[in-house]
Amino acid sequence: MKYPMFSHLIAVACLIAVLQPFSAKAGVLTIQNLTPDATSVYALADSGGSLILGNTADNLQVGYFTLNDAGILDAWNAGDLISINSSFVRFGDAFGMEDFGLGYDGIFSAAPAGFSDPFAGKNIYLFASTGSDFTDLSAQYLIYKFDATFTADPFAGELALGTNTYPGVLLVGGFGNFSFDIIPGGEELPGFNTVGVIPEPFTGALLALGLGGLCWLRRRQQTKSA
């Protein structure tokens, strides 16, 4: 005797069992550099102290690195942005600086959302740039490791860059080199700043050799024409 209904239930149960490991629920992570009371901001500037423009888009990412901190620093010191960028797993979409109008640059506040399954237990990093291309050697960068991890899904979290307790590790970039009082009624606070990539010595030597050869060739051409 056949039991079509029973067979159907078994098939559905098997399908659920197969799909279960791949299910994921979205999480939301609020991240900003405003103070908790929103009266001032730990602004983000470049290495010269100029606040990063409020209309700069897609220059901020939050997520985790497959490289450990030592590996990130080794790649940075080698000028290897490609390895750093390829090892970064972004949570949600990239976001940019807030555009509150003239004089209110250097501020960001966003709530990227994404699937949290592969993120649970990973340290949370902010990967910032002065541009949207995270492999551009002419841009400047900041990498900040929060003293926090992604939790199991579904989850929601809030993190602020540069609160009074300074919770985290600044791997790439600067802090306290410049101070800003951006929001009226707020206090002047130290800010964070991006830094430029220093080419590895081998690359610098090749560049110098190429420039030297160009100068020699130009002088030779000038001698022949004389």
Q: How confident is the model at residue 157 (pLDDT cuts 50, 70, 90)?
A: confident
Return the closest-CA partner of residue 160 out of 89, 100, 109: 109
The pLDDT of residue 42 is above 60: yes
Domain ranges of the chain: 23-201
Burial 115-124 (b: 16+ CB within 10 A, else e): ebeebeebbb
How buried is residue 207: exposed, middle or buried, by Cβ count under 10 Å (0-12/13-18/19+)? exposed
pTM for this structure?
0.77
Beta bridge pairs of residue 126: 62, 144
Q: How confident is the model at residue 203 (pLDDT cuts 50, 70, 90)?
A: very low
State the pairing for strand pair 168-172/174-180.
unpaired
pLDDT, residue 166, reads 55
State the pairing for strand pair 26-32/156-160.
parallel
pLDDT digits (tens, 9 = 90+) for 161-197: 876 555 789 999 999 999 998 876 777 889 999 999 9
The pLDDT of residue 49 is above 50: yes
pLDDT, residue 226, reads 53
pLDDT, residue 205, reads 42
pLDDT, residue 219, reads 52
pLDDT, residue 158, reads 86
**Scanning the structure block, which residue is given the tokens 């997520």?**
63
Q: Rounded to 5 degrees, what angle do the CA atoms 105, 108, 114 make?
A: 155
Backbone angles phi, psi at 51, to 5 degrees: -60, 140
